Amino acid sequence: MTACKTAATALIVLTLAALAGCSSVGAGVGVGIPVGPFSVGVGLGSGGLSAGVGTGVGPLGVGVGVNQRGQVLGTAGVGAATGVGGASVGVGVGTSTVLHDPNRPQAAPSQEGQPTSAAEPGAVQWRDASGQAVPACRAEGRC
């Protein structure tokens, strides 16, 4: 396979994987444009519209894409392609995982080092790795 066919194969594989989503099966179509060792493309399938960048070596491909919900997906797959006229047509299978989801609630900030009792408002109650209270002078190295 030439570098262009490999890149096109990788993009097709990656687009299908991104469209399939994590832990689900789907099918779709994608179009990629080789740009150096990468392929930039868009796809449409059961998961909706997505755009991505991928690369590949031989039948293996990896890439990153964004779907219409704003999720950033990391993908990997394997596939094969052949030239049909001036285009490359292929098929592949792969998997993806959500790297970032803007709709997922953010984790609450850590409460470590915050006061643990109302006995002394504003005072910090230090604790060791096992959860035992540690005097402030010890935690600050002045005991």
- pLDDT tens column, 64-86: 999 888 999 898 989 888 888 88
pLDDT of residue 20: 45
Asked if residue 85 belongs to a domain, the reply is yes
**Confidence band for 121, pLDDT divided at 50, 70 and 90:** low
- Looking at the structure of the chain, the number of domains it has is 2
pLDDT of residue 12: 56
**Confidence band for 141, pLDDT divided at 50, 70 and 90:** confident
13 and 76 in one domain?
yes
**Confidence band for 24, pLDDT divided at 50, 70 and 90:** very low
User: Mean of the pLDDT values across residues 109-134?
Assistant: 64
Q: Beta partners for 12?
A: none
Asked if residue 106 belongs to a domain, the reply is no
- Any idea what DSSP says for residue 122? T
50 Cβ neighbours under 8 A, 6+ residues apart: 15, 18, 19, 42, 43, 44, 65, 66, 67, 68, 73
Convert the pLDDT of each residue in 27-68 to its tens digit.
Answer: 677 788 889 999 899 888 767 888 999 998 888 989 999 988
23 Cβ neighbours under 8 A, 6+ residues apart: none
**Confidence band for 95, pLDDT divided at 50, 70 and 90:** confident
CA-based torsion, 57, 62, 66, 72: positive or negative: negative
Asked if residue 126 belongs to a domain, the reply is yes
35 Cβ neighbours under 8 A, 6+ residues apart: none
90 and 31 in one domain?
yes
Question: Against a cut of 0.85, is the pTM above it?
Answer: no
124 and 86 in one domain?
no
Q: Work out the mean pLDDT of the chain and round it to a whole number.
A: 74
Asked if residue 81 belongs to a domain, the reply is yes
Asked if residue 10 belongs to a domain, the reply is yes
Tokens, residue 16: 């299908």
Which residues span the domain enclosing 119? 113-143
Counting Cα atoms < 13 Å in the Cβ hemisphere of 131 gives: 0
